[in-house]
Structure 1
Amino acid sequence: MKFELDITKHMRSGGDEFLLRSEFFSTDRALVLFGPSGSGKTLTLRSIAGMLTPDKGYIKINGDVIFDSKANINVPTRCRDVGYVFQDYALFPHLTVRENIGFGLKPLFSRLGHKEKQHVEELIDVFGLEKIAGQRPIALSGGQQQRTALARALAPSPKLLLLDEPFSALDQPLRIRMRNELTKVLETFDIPMIMVTHDADEVEAFAETIVVYHNGSVANVYSACDFVGSDQRLAETLRHQVSLAYE
């Protein structure tokens, strides 16, 4: 995957102001946006998805321009061909697991066709959701909710998967198990991803390129390959980066 981003966004809430100034480039398939809470990671992810419009700059995926302020290009979210998993999963509470997964495949004011229904059943099988396919989110465990959210994001066969702190709502034992499951999902679907996290262990588990944020800007960009065979651990380096953010 070739990914290019250079954006600026001024945010104002009450009397507080925040400036996002994000710029990085990568040809890796697994990018992780890392840094403390409030440093601009999720704002960047939402800009990539089209949920937030930058004031200026550009975003390109594999050479395709999805945002360019100078050229007046701003591709709608539904046309960007990306899947998004929210931090709280954002499942529709009134829909069953099966209906949540199929939501992105359903034409407006229409029902799923035979092909789409078959695809939903295939995803239910892949994610091991057969026994709970008729249940609503309130009855699901954290791990089941995450698998449902992943299946829903992957249902339209996107070219890029965006993950906003996908493990933060899980306790530690389940978090480790779900990391392993996500690794299998990425391999099975052969899809590039961009993940937001402030957990250095998650960076070590998934990242090929690490973009470190501090106070709204990109402080550093690392390649995980640089740490292979080195005495320096990636997680230790990143924890040091976070500690600097609080000085």
Structure 2
Amino acid sequence: MQFELDITKHMRSGGDEFVLRSHFTTTDRALVLFGPSGSGKTLTLKAVAGLLTPDEGYIRVNGDVLYDSSAGVNTPTRRRRVGYVFQDYALFPHHTVRENVAFGLKPFFGKVNREEARSVDELIELFGLSRVAHLKPGFISGGQQQRTALARTLATKPRILLLDEPFSALDQPLRLRMRTELAKILENFDIPMIMVTHDSDEVESFAEAVVVYRDGNVVGIHSAEAVAQSGRSLGETIREEVALAYQTQ
């Protein structure tokens, strides 16, 4: 994956202003945006998805321009072919698991065709949701809700998967198990990923490269391969960088 991003966004609330200045380029397929809450990670993810329009800059995926202020390009979300899994999963509470998974495939006021229905059934089986496919989100576990959200996103065959703190709503034992499950899913689908987290253990589990944020700015970019060649772990490197950041505040 060739991913290029250089954007600026001014956000105002009352008399306060937050400025996002995000700039990085990578060819890695598993990218993690890391930093404390409120540092600009999720704003960057939303800009990639088209849910937030920057003030200026550009976003390119494999040479395809999703946004370019100078060229007047701002591709609508539905045409960006990105899959976004929200922090709270954003499942439709009055739809069953099967209906949630099929939602992105349905035309307005229509039904999925036979081939699409078969694809939905295959995803439900792959994600281990067959026993709960007839249930609504309020009647299934947090891990099953996460798998439903992932299945719904992957049903549309996106070219890149965006994950906004996918484990934050889970308790610790389930979080550890779902990390393993997600790693298997990503391997099965062979899909590039950008994940937002402030957990250094998740960085170490998933990142081929990590972009470190602080106060709306990118303050470091680390390659997992380069860090490993230095004889250190990526998690250790990130934890030291975070400690240094707090010392300088």
TM over 0.5: yes
Match of 2:173 in 1: 173
Unaligned runs of 5+ in 1: none
Match of 1:10 in 2: 10
Match of 2:224 in 1: 224
Deviation (angstroms), 1:230: 3.4
Match of 2:26 in 1: 26
Residue deviations 1:168-222 (CA, integer Å, cap 9, x gap): 1111111111001001101111100000000001000000011000100100000
Match of 2:99 in 1: 99
SS in 1 for 2:242: helix
Deviation (angstroms), 1:244: 3.6
The letter for the 2-side match of 1:115 is: E
C-alpha distance in 1 between matches for 2:14 and 2:245: 24
The letter for the 1-side match of 2:147 is: R
Match of 1:137 in 2: 137
* Residue correspondence of structure 1 range 1-247 to structure 2 within 5 A: 1-246=1-246, 247=249
Cα RMSD between the aligned structures? Answer: 0.9
C-alpha distance in 2 between matches for 1:160 and 1:245: 31
C-alpha distance in 1 between matches for 2:243 and 2:164: 22
Residue deviations 1:121-152 (CA, integer Å, cap 9, x gap): 01001000000001001111110000000001
| Length, aligned pairs only | 247
C-alpha distance in 2 between matches for 1:130 and 1:244: 47
Deviation (angstroms), 1:226: 1.3
Are 1:36 and 1:245, in contact at CA under 8 Å, matched by a contact in 2?
A: no
TM-score by length of 1: 0.98
SS in 2 for 1:169: coil
Are 1:143 and 1:170, in contact at CA under 8 Å, matched by a contact in 2?
A: yes
Query: Which one is further off, 10-19 or 188-197?
Result: 10-19
Are 2:4 and 2:61, in contact at CA under 8 Å, matched by a contact in 1?
A: yes
Unaligned runs of 5+ in 2: none
Deviation (angstroms), 1:229: 4.5
SS in 2 for 1:67: strand
